[in-house]
Structure 1
């Protein structure tokens, strides 16, 4: 498998961020829509496995299939552009502005939501036989997740909000690592391995991913989940988006940019004379 060294990886990340900033509205929306939809299907797949086998580990091990497929097909997630596009701005790429960055983020957010919500509607129909029967075991599991990760946080007040926010930060630390790992190799197998590991970790640990949640909570609400749209927005989606931004940009984008793109000069090795002087002190 070919390997891209970190200094070249940093350039690839900046190039990707600039390209996404310049992308047309149509293409940005299509790619974001499909990214949200495929990730929603992957979440449905993983939760189905978990509910039917009783093993959260098996579900987490197989969830990355959706993430891998959507990135191999060139689709986008908000969590990825949170990390990449600001680097093109920091690197002062020609034409990249704060306005173009927020434009990209806004379009990707909307596209991801529409894609994930489409899958939520389709899966709600599937879980309830066209809303003619109560939800099946997977539908019930989804409603429990929706309740636990909104009202469940709210029960603890500020401590619950802090926990939600930290889970969101940790989530995009791992998800953005997966996005960047896809650029570490030029082979399909290398990209798949690089993406699979951090995405499996985030899903098994129950971290909060804003795009996955765009599927999980709407589908639960459509089936009669015991929480409200306002609960979802205040006690999950909004804090999760903010935490995802901080986690991906701080722990992945900026760290790689600072140390591999804006590398400081290395310290010089001491000469023999300097070593002798130091030893005699």
Structure 2
């Protein structure tokens, strides 16, 4: 059977999905290339938002904990945390873990060089962490964080940095970004705003309730502990968590989702660009 007769858009997501991804990549690449400060500010806003929602979750859990069963408290906290992705996406902020999917698609189609992608990842991650530092520096001069919230923060970080081993964090991180990015893939097919928000929220709710590992979320928690309980900081454990979560998140969002759907939707639409890039590499 001649595959040129296949109507790809009726089998997979097709040209529209790929075009949306590529358009997003190109915008991000241009922003990083010519407006680096603004790109960094967008990344900082994402870290700022996650930090706000992280504190919100701590407050929700400590408020409901005395009177509500633990499972219900965790579910409420997970739904609460899902607000973060909605706020980040609708404010066009730059979150590292969603970029894993976008730029892996670009790598598959040879639309961007690996070194450039790595630079964008590092700048985005730095911006996410910088946003967390700014938020907690402001919050620290207030009394928003109660002793119960600080104790819960320490408990969460103890598990992430000291109890979990590298392999455990890695696997948890794979599934965390799988659920985030599969929700994004579905949301991209939906025009209705409320439906789009619902899809994004249930993906995050699943990973949060199951205790999976998100590298940016973990980094914001670690920053919070630096400000509120510096004596409890376990630097090596935090570094172990960041490295394992970073790798796992890339596998879950970049390879399992990004590479998978890039291959499924590949119908030769970028063959000319691929050949041109290969020719340039051979002439260097």
So what's the TM-score if we normalise by structure 1? 0.81
2:122 is aligned to: 106
Total equivalences in the alignment: 245
| 1:60 matches 2:66 | no
> Is 1:82 aligned to residue 105 of structure 2?
no
Take 1:99 and 1:22, find their aligned partners in 2: how far apart are those partners? 15
Q: In structure 1, the residue corresponding to 2:232 is in which secondary structure?
A: coil
Give unmatched runs, 5+ long, in structure 2. Answer: 1-11, 66-72, 269-284
Matched residue of 1:99: which SS?
helix
In the alignment, structure 1 segments of 5+ residues that lack a partner are 130-134, 154-159, 264-281
* Maintained 8 Å contact 1:13/1:180: no
Distance 1:166 1:113, change over 3 A: same
Partner of 1:166: 171
What corresponds to 2:235 in structure 1?
A: 229
* CA drift at 1:11: 2.6
Of 198-207 and 14-23, the range deviating more from structure 2: 14-23
For 1:169-184, what aligned pairs fall within 5 Å after superposition?
169-184=174-189
1:143 to 149, 154, 174: 154
Shift of 1:204: 0.8
- Please name the residue that 2:13 is paired with: 6
| Cα separation, 2, equivalents of 1:226 and 1:151 | 11
Give 1:118 shift: 2.0
Give the structure 2 partner of residue 219 of structure 1.
224
Aligned twin of 2:279:
none
The 5 A counterparts of 1:125-274 are 125-126=141-142, 136-153=147-164, 160-224=165-229, 226-234=232-240, 236-262=241-267
Residue 48 (structure 2) pairs with residue 47 (structure 1): no
Distance in 2, Cα, partners of 1:45 & 1:106: 27
Which structure: larger Rg? 1
Determine if contact 1:21/1:85 at 8 Å carries over to the other structure. Answer: no
Q: Counting helix residues as a fraction of each chain, which structure ranks higher?
A: 2
Residues 108 and 259 of structure 2 are in contact (CA less than 8 Å); yes or no, is this contact kept in structure 1? Answer: no
Equivalent-residue separation in structure 1 for 2:75 and 2:138 (angstroms): 26
Q: Say if 1:166 and 1:243, in contact at 8 Å, map to a contact too.
A: yes
CA deviations over 1:198-253 (Å, ceiling 9, x no partner): 0111111111111111211121232225332232112x111111111111012211
The question of 1:116 aligning with 2:132 is answered yes
TM-aligned CA distance change 1:222 to 1:47, over 3 Å: same
> Secondary structure in 2 aligned to 1:26?
helix
Q: 1:117 to 1:250 in 2, by over 3 A?
A: same
| 1:20 paired residue number | 28
Query: How has the CA–CA distance of structure 1 residues 219 and 172 changed in structure 2, closer, same or farther, with 3 Å as cutoff?
Result: same
User: How far 1:128 sits from its partner (Å)?
Assistant: 7.5
Kept in 1, the 8 Å contact 2:47–2:132? The answer is yes
Q: CA deviation at 1:90?
A: 1.9
